[in-house]
Amino acid sequence: MHQVEQKLKQVPPKSVIMFEASSEQDQMKLIADFLRARKNDGGMYVSSIRPANDLIEKLLTYDVDLREAVKAGRICIIDLVSKSVGASEVKGGIYVSSPSELSATQMAIEKAAKSLDDKAGGRTWLLVDSISTLLVFNSPGAVLHFMHFLIGRLRVLQFDGAIFTVEGSVNERTLLTMKQFCDMVIKI
C-alpha cells in the first residue's frame, strides 16, 4: 500500500488535510496515491500545475485512469492552466482562464459541487494540487483569503479536502496560517 493511502486510512470523514511533501518526492505520484485511495468517491480536482488532458495522461503512468470518471461526471477537473497555454479541453472539465482568477476558480468549484451532488458515490472530496503555483500568480493575502473561504465551503458542503504543497515552496508565515485552516497536516 502506498504512503498516502496508508495515511488516509487514519483521517476522519469531512476533514481538510494539507499534504506537505519533501522536494525530493514525486508530487504526481502522491496525487495518484490519493486518487487511488479515493477511487470509489466523487470529487473535484483543482489543477494549477498541468492542463487537464496532460494531467489525465500523466496519471495513466501511475495506473490511475481519470478519463472515465470525468466522462461520467463523478470527477470534475477544474483546470486553471489550459486556457492560458492554449491546450485542448477535456469534456467534463471546467476551465478558468488563469491561476490568477481566484474568484472564477471559486465559481467553478461551486458549479462542480452542484454537478457532483447526484453523481458522487461515497464521500466527496476536493483536491488542490499546488498552493505554490497559486502563490506565483496571486499575493499571499489573496491566496489565504481564497483558501479560508474554500475550506469553509468544504465544511458547509461536508466534503473532504486535500491540499498539496511542497516543503519550502511557500513562505513560512503563509504556510503556518494555512495550516491553521486545516484539520491535519501530513508530512510525506
Write out the DSSP string of 32-92: HHHHHHTTTSEEEEEESSS-HHHHHHHHHTTT---HHHHHHTSEEEEESSHHHHTPPPPTT
Helix (H) or strand (E) holding 49: none
Q: How many domains does the chain have?
A: 1
Structure-block grid coordinates of residue 177: 496560517
Please answer whether residues 142 and 102 qualify as being in contact, where contact means their C-beta atoms are separated by less than 8 angstroms.
yes
Band (pLDDT 50/70/90 cuts) for residue 1 is very low
CATH number, residue 58: 3.40.50.300
In this predicted model, what pLDDT tens digit does every residue of 44-53 receive, in sequence order?
Answer: 999 999 999 9
Please answer whether residues 54 and 77 qualify as being in contact, where contact means their C-beta atoms are separated by less than 8 angstroms.
no
SS3 185: strand
Provide the pLDDT for residue 121. 59
4 domain residue, yes or no: no
Mean model confidence pLDDT for the chain: 88
Structure-block grid coordinates of residue 97: 482562464
Query: In terms of residue numbers, what domain contains 172?
Result: 14-187
In this predicted model, what pLDDT tens digit does every residue of 114-167 receive, in sequence order?
Answer: 888 665 556 899 999 989 999 999 999 999 999 999 999 999 999 999 999 888
How far is residue 143's CA from residue 139's CA, in Å, rounded to a whole number? 6
Q: How many residues does the chain have?
A: 188
Instruction: Please give the average per-residue pLDDT across 161-182, as a whole number.
Output: 90
6 domain residue, yes or no: no
How far is residue 96's CA from residue 113's CA, in Å, rounded to a whole number? 15
How far is residue 45's CA from residue 51's CA, in Å, rounded to a whole number? 12
5 domain residue, yes or no: no
SS3 58: helix
9 domain residue, yes or no: no
146 domain residue, yes or no: yes
